[in-house]
Amino acid sequence: MKTFEPLNVGGMTLPNRIMVPAMVTRLSGEDGLVNQDIVDRYVRYAQGEVGLIVVEAMAVHHAKAGPLLRISDNAFIPGLADLVRRIHDTSDSKVVPQIIHFLKISKSGWRQTVDMLSIEDIDRIVEEFGDAVARAREAGFDGAELHSAHAYTLSSFMSRTNPRKDEYGGHTLETRLRLIGRIVENVRRKAGHDFPVGIRYNATEFIKDGYTVNDAKVIGLRLAELGAAYLSLSVGGKFEDAVHVPGHVPYPYTGFSGDRCMPGDWYPPVTNAHYAVAIKTHLRAHGYDTPVAATGKISDPDDVERLVSSGQVDIVGIARGLLADPDWPKKVRNDERERIVRCDYCNVCKHLDGTHMRVICSLWPQGTLQAPTDDRSAAAPQWESAGAALTATAQTGSVLLKWSKAAGAARYDVYRCDELGNVSFIDAVKVTRWEDKEILAGHRYQYFVRPYAATGAGSARSNTVDVVLPVAPGSAPRASVAEAVS
């Protein structure tokens, strides 16, 4: 598989094409120091042998922000150096920190915007980024990633909604790009031209008057010219459409742009990759081979392979899927996909991040702070002697599935088969019931469930049940599907 071919990214060699994009863990304290929980979280990804680990955003400055890593002072270097050493001691995974600057925001909903910054403030930000990346190099990181996506300072300058009127203003594309240009130049001066620096930015903003992939293609070209080691594409995640809960600091993933940034279970898979593909195509047409990473609800190994083997993108970022199971790369490479703990995109992790609680995956065993270790000697769950006894009951507009417990099961994966024979994994649950609210009356659906131990071992699937919801009187479809197909 192309997925497992190495890739040269600005001088560092990724062992494969899988990346953990930056995910805030809320495991650090307000002191911004690396602690044991942080080390454990990232070493766990290295154990899974992912190609590139992007450590969660760490701030270039000291502004208040709840639990968040910092790289704003040399005092943070030893902790970061220890983190890097532990990762490098574990596997060939490469590791870079995501470097962030953000503006002030309050519980009242007020927030500082880029037009409130003086030229001195901007000059300071330029220096802070340079210093931060130099510290990253000092700490032994393989490179660094500048965070120019979502709701944060660099992205706000790049935005079409940037309200400034000066040489950093939103009135032209070049002025929107001036700050990132100065920062990259300063980073190179302070951290060296040979230190790989990637940039994460939005492929489209998904807000009113926000920029679209039209601009993102040209922005990508400029970033490639600036010598970006890679471009990691995200979307949305803006304050402009965030839902403000009175008394809480606005969280930029609560509006529609947040839905699109971390698409939930009702979104199609691979929702945003076509934007990254368009940007890669544009770069290539202009003679640039800068590696491009696509992200956004991607976790099926076939989708990943299709994206990289076709050359549409070079790297695939898997955030929630690797949180659920950091061993995803190893399991796919070893052809053990059946053992993967599959993310069901319930977004409990997103909710925890938004409320500043320690981020875990709801599929992990209760009370644990890290993904369980894959235990290959552990027994698979066992259905009771009566078997799964899966039943389906038609309700008004939904089907209720119930089944027996399997001894040793930590969760059950629920599968649905449509009348064309397409089998889909549709949810992962810890209880023994599940309701399907997304089906059409008059159509035949089949379901089965499969129990899994916390450590990865799956057992035999349950019996399969068939169900057809009766069509409501007075709205009878004209033809049944059987008639239509024949």
- Number of other residues whose CB lies within 10 A of the CB of residue 367: 6
Q: Is the distance from CB of 191 to CB of 143 less than 8 angstroms?
A: no
Least separation in angstroms between residue 291's CB and a copy of itself is 15
The Cα-based distances of 444 to 240, 395, 439, 471 in angstroms read 43, 14, 9, 12
Choosing from 63, 267, 303, 373, the residue that interacts with a copy of itself (CB under 8 A) is 267
Q: For residue 448, give both structure tokens.
A: 């089965």
Tell me the one-letter amino acid at 440: L
Q: What is the DSSP letter of 411?
A: E
221-250 binders of a copy of itself (CB under 8 A) = 221-222, 224-227, 241, 243
**Helix runs in 50-91, H state only:** 77-90
CB of 242 to a copy of itself, least distance (A): 10
Binding of residue 119 to a copy of itself (CB under 8 A): no
Cα gap 464→89, rounded to integer Å: 46
Residue 233 C-beta: closest distance to a copy of itself, Å: 15
Which of 8, 13, 214, 393 lies at the binding interface for a copy of itself (CB under 8 A)? 214
CB 450 within 8 A of CB 459: yes
Of the candidates 198, 237, 258, 301, which one interacts with a copy of itself according to CB under 8 A?
258
Positive or negative torsion for Cα 213, 218, 224, 227:
negative
Choose one: 80-88, 130-138, 260-268, 303-311; the region binding a copy of itself (CB under 8 A).
Answer: 260-268
Q: Taking CB under 8 A as the rule, does residue 124 contact a copy of itself?
A: no
479 forms part of the interface with a copy of itself (CB under 8 A): yes
CA–CA dist 161, 167 (Å, integer) = 15
Q: Cα–Cα–Cα angle for 286, 289, 293, nearest 5°?
A: 115
Determine how β-strand 444-452 pairs with β-strand 391-394: unpaired
Q: Is 120 in the site for a copy of itself (CB under 8 A)?
A: no
Instruction: Tell me how far, at minimum, the Cβ of 444 lies from a copy of itself, in Å.
Output: 12
Contacts (CB under 8 A) with a copy of itself, residues 427-446? 437-442
- Please tell me whether residue 485 binds a copy of itself under the rule CB under 8 A: yes
Residue 215 makes contact with a copy of itself by CB under 8 A: yes
Cβ 18 vs Cβ 304: under 8 Å: yes
Q: Quote the least distance from Cβ 484 to a copy of itself, whole Å.
A: 4
Residue 345 in the binding site for a copy of itself (CB under 8 A) = no
Give the per-residue contact string, 280-319, with a copy of itself (x = CB under 8 A; - = no).
-----xxxx-------------------------------
Pairing between β-strand 399-402 and β-strand 391-394 as defined by DSSP bridges: antiparallel
Using CB atoms within 10 Å of the CB of residue 62, give its burial: 0 to 12 exposed, 13 to 18 middle, 19+ buried. Answer: exposed
Give 3-state DSSP helix, strand, coil % of the chain, rounded to 5: 30, 20, 50
User: Is residue 218 part of the contact set for a copy of itself (CB under 8 A)?
Assistant: yes
Minimal distance, residue 179 CB to a copy of itself, in Å: 8
**Stretch of 62-70, 264-272, 326-334, 339-347 lying at the interface with a copy of itself (CB under 8 A):** 264-272
Q: Does 397 bind a copy of itself (CB under 8 A)?
A: yes
Number of shown-chain residues binding a copy of itself (CB under 8 A): 71
Q: Site residues for a copy of itself, window 164-193 (CB under 8 A)?
A: 167, 171-175, 177-178, 180-182, 184-185
DSSP letter at 30? T
